[in-house]
Structure 1
Amino acid sequence: MKRPTSMENRMLERYFQLSAHGTTVKTELLAGLTTFLTMAYIIFVNPDILSAAGMPKDSVFVATCLAAAIGSAIMGLYANYPIALAPGMGLNAYFAFAVVKGMGFTWQAALGAVFISGLLFILVSLFKVREAIVNAIPRSLKFAISAGIGLFLAIIGLKNAGLIVAHPSTLLTLGNLHQPAPVLAALGFLLIVALEWRKVPGAIIISILAVTVASIAMGLTSFNGIIAAPPSVAPTFLQMDIAGALNAGLLTVILTFFLVELFDASGTLIGVAHRAGLLDKDGKLPHLKKALLADSTAIAAGAALGTSSTTAYIESAAGTAAGGRTGLTAVTVAVLFLVALVFAPLAGTVPAFATAPALCYVAVLMLRGLAEIEWDDLTEAAPAAITAITMPFTFSIAHGIAFGFITYAAIKLLSGRVKELPATVTVIAVMFVLKFAFL
């Protein structure tokens, strides 16, 4: 991007209130670049995951870049927060491996479910229902859902790397370590961790590219080039099947998308804002409604373009650590995602075992939530453990959430601690019981 002129600086100053936030145009642009480098891996990982559902990889690549650009731009221009958005990790895997491959629905119907969940998110954001829902969900279940999604990502990452394979007797076993793909994936993971520890910007994308280059050099992958005109988004654009998504079997899927989007967005927004010092004296985020509307609008827009749920990225904390304090940081990220559209050939070159380390690393980050669970209280710890364990072992985020809510309600009831059981949890638990019983 070219350096802003003095007139442009004044315009940016007035619109984003840079001085009031103690920042400058230069600082915001550098913060945006930092955030982009930490989350740019999604332009390689998301198409790779969704292509497993039968979606055209090139079109998903374009949809990923556009959804990230639109979401980040709305967050920056409307809410004026330095928080970037892109298709979220976890839900993309749930979309591909559980909903489409596992449950047998078309990817068009799955996109319809994402679109409907986005509309529901917009409604609860407009009418302030979000606070009531989020506040009613027990902390232990919130942390367990995050950790469970991490385990779900881990098992997919290990499978894509070839480090674990199916076995008729033990279900899973160690892959063939004499093959180059598992070894390269393992080295890629070690590289990510080492670079992250050394605080090198773009550690994940560096690892993906390093493994890809090694793969090409070893003749495992064919090189398709680096830059070209962006592919067409037409094969996925407006392909969501709303009618198919309203099928009774997908109602749980819609609820799962909605709940995870709700927790993820709220937690990420508060977490990044806290690190950036943007919370007010009461610990609340000013203009939260605007931020949530930006997030929910991006979900619907992403589904229309042809990608799974778009959400706020915790990697935005890297940008705030670099000084980002306003929406100019997010707008910078949006522009860079648009620039990334020309790298479609490179995205097509990246093999699955090169993106597998990224899945495993994100899993590591998400597992930290287990430390926040009250392990001394069995009525909290047991449902949390069931939630986290069930997700990878049933290969379904929805089943993990369902068993978590049902277990939580049942244990609180049987333990005589009904007063600690929120009505919202009871309603959701009953819905899941009815689903298992009759659908």
Structure 2
Amino acid sequence: MLEKLFKLGENGTNVKTEVVAGMTTFLTMAYIIFVNPAILSSTGMDHGSVFVATCLAAAIGCFVMGLWANLPIAQAPGMGLNAFFTYSVVLGMGYTWQVALAAVFMSGCLFILLSLVKIRELIIDSIPLSLRTGISAGIGLFLAFIALKNAGIVVASPATFVTLGKITSLQAVLACVGFFITIGLVQRGVKGAVMIAILAVTGLGLIFGDVQWHGIVSAPPSIAPTFLQLDFSGLLNVGMISVVFAFLFVDLFDTAGTLVGVASKADLIDENGKIPRIGRALLADSTATSIGALLGTSNTTSYVESISGVAEGGRTGLTAVVVGVFFLLALFFSPLAGMIPAYATSGALFYVAILMLSGLVNVDWRDLTEAAPVVVTCLLMPLTFSIAEGISFGFISYAAIKIFSGKGREVSISVYVLAAIFIVKYIVG
């Protein structure tokens, strides 16, 4: 049955290899079951409910990707998008988390529509590489800032916006230790390095009396506090246009980049340079996002950590299905997730930030018309505490700089349209 369903022999793999690959991928991305509830619960969402929604959305995304697209790519609520949901949309812009969930659901529906009518390639190809790089790097800086804030390493200052916090506090010290452990273990090639670091810092918090013991295993919490709690009334506000677009574009670019990276590593790209069943893969991603919003979590996306499973030999959707099974088993570890303090996840956030910033090496720094919009995008995301504002100014500055530099013809129509929409948003809003 498995051979017929996943074509194991045709892809040069077997059940044992796929199971090991799935376990490896899960270990490298399992940190999300601790980090996502910690971030989203800052909006007032129930921690236990978000934990369940995270596990279920990840499992559903993995099952759809594995069974429908037959690709070894795992899914879960995405880093960066959860931070945007919490710190920009809810805490920054003042929307309720119910409205934010509605925006996530709408972005997922738009993603599905783009996948069905095959416009996605046109959009991806029409957005300049420099802008895509700037958006990713800007989110990285945004995550790094949040990590430092959660650890108490940087604090608010009326005179200088931010300043150095009490670096000798227990929280700051343990956050730094967690970051050092993360980088050290990753560099040594240890599987599950990020999760190990989070648990290690939590353990130290227990030893020093800063964390209260709640146990490890129990029945899953109720999902009722977040299930189907979407509020679509807030979407009538013109300011939500950029929010929905931000959710959509970040998810779209992140997914496209991950699919290319993992498929290349797995040698799944055909002779025409195409990824097999990419349409199904994108539909799996967008469907998981919409379902995840209904459950009570931010955008679900494809994880680049899937490469770790591919490196272990994973070549089919059975790898993704195994990851999904482990996310279902993780439902019974909610007490452990509830003990994780915010500073324990700071190292993970900073590590992910480093990965997202690495793409800046691909920017042509000799061409200011390409480099300047990247810097604008990168800096405005953390400084405005909003991914949406960074994306907006990125598109506006890219179009304007190209026009004033006499290179207006290099800009695609879609970039001009988006820049105009963002300008109208600021004028009207």
Whether 1:106 and 2:103 are equivalent positions in the alignment is no
Partner of 2:277: 287
Partner of 1:218: 208
Partner of 1:393: 383
Distance in 2 of aligned mates of 1:192 and 1:286: 34
Describe how 1:1-400 pairs up with structure 2 within 5 A.
Answer: 11-400=1-390
Distance in 1 of aligned mates of 2:186 and 2:170: 24
Q: CA deviation at 1:343?
A: 0.3
Q: CA deviation at 1:286?
A: 1.2
Q: CA deviation at 1:252?
A: 1.2
Normalising by structure 2, report the TM-score.
0.99
Q: CA deviation at 1:418?
A: 1.5
Tell me, yes or no, if the aligned pair for 2:238 and 2:425 is still in contact at 8 Å: no
RMSD across aligned C-alpha pairs, in angstroms?
Answer: 0.7
Q: CA deviation at 1:242?
A: 2.0
| 1:158-178 deviation digits (Å, cap 9, x = unpaired) | 100111111121111111122
Q: What secondary structure does 1:31 align onto? A: helix
Partner of 1:6: none
Q: Give the gaps of 5 or more residues in structure 1.
A: 1-10
Q: CA deviation at 1:282?
A: 2.2
Which stretch of structure 1 is more off in the superposition, 167-176 or 61-70?
A: 167-176
Partner of 2:415: 425
| 1:168-201 deviation digits (Å, cap 9, x = unpaired) | 2111111112211100110110100010011000
| 1:228-263 deviation digits (Å, cap 9, x = unpaired) | 000000110011112322322211101111111111
Q: Percent identity between the aligned chains? A: 60
| Amino acid aligned to 2:152 | G
| Amino acid aligned to 2:198 | I
Q: What secondary structure does 2:10 align onto? A: helix
Distance in 2 of aligned mates of 1:61 and 1:346: 11
Tell me, yes or no, if the aligned pair for 2:71 and 2:317 is still in contact at 8 Å: yes
Distance in 2 of aligned mates of 1:62 and 1:23: 32
Distance in 2 of aligned mates of 1:37 and 1:246: 41
Q: What secondary structure does 1:237 align onto? A: coil
| Amino acid aligned to 2:347 | P
Distance in 2 of aligned mates of 1:177 and 1:65: 34
Which stretch of structure 1 is more off in the superposition, 254-263 or 74-83?
A: 254-263
Distance in 1 of aligned mates of 2:41 and 2:126: 36
Distance in 1 of aligned mates of 2:205 and 2:217: 19
| Amino acid aligned to 1:187 | V
Q: What secondary structure does 1:248 align onto? A: coil
| 1:256-311 deviation digits (Å, cap 9, x = unpaired) | 11111111111111111111111111221011100000000000000000000000
Tell me, yes or no, if the aligned pair for 2:58 and 2:76 is still in contact at 8 Å: yes
Which stretch of structure 1 is more off in the superposition, 243-252 or 358-367?
A: 243-252
Q: CA deviation at 1:391?
A: 0.5
Distance in 2 of aligned mates of 1:192 and 1:178: 20
Q: What secondary structure does 1:215 align onto? A: helix
| Amino acid aligned to 2:231 | D
| Amino acid aligned to 1:125 | S
Count of paired positions? 429
Distance in 1 of aligned mates of 2:144 and 2:68: 35
Distance in 1 of aligned mates of 2:105 and 2:179: 33
Q: CA deviation at 1:204?
A: 0.2
Distance in 1 of aligned mates of 2:232 and 2:198: 35
Tell me, yes or no, if the aligned pair for 2:39 and 2:86 is still in contact at 8 Å: yes
Distance in 2 of aligned mates of 1:179 and 1:163: 9
Distance in 2 of aligned mates of 1:258 and 1:347: 28
Distance in 2 of aligned mates of 1:385 and 1:249: 24
Q: CA deviation at 1:55?
A: 0.6
Tell me, yes or no, if the aligned pair for 1:116 and 1:242 is still in contact at 8 Å: no
Tell me, yes or no, if the aligned pair for 1:76 and 1:329 is still in contact at 8 Å: yes
Distance in 2 of aligned mates of 1:220 and 1:421: 53
Tell me, yes or no, if the aligned pair for 1:71 and 1:86 is still in contact at 8 Å: yes
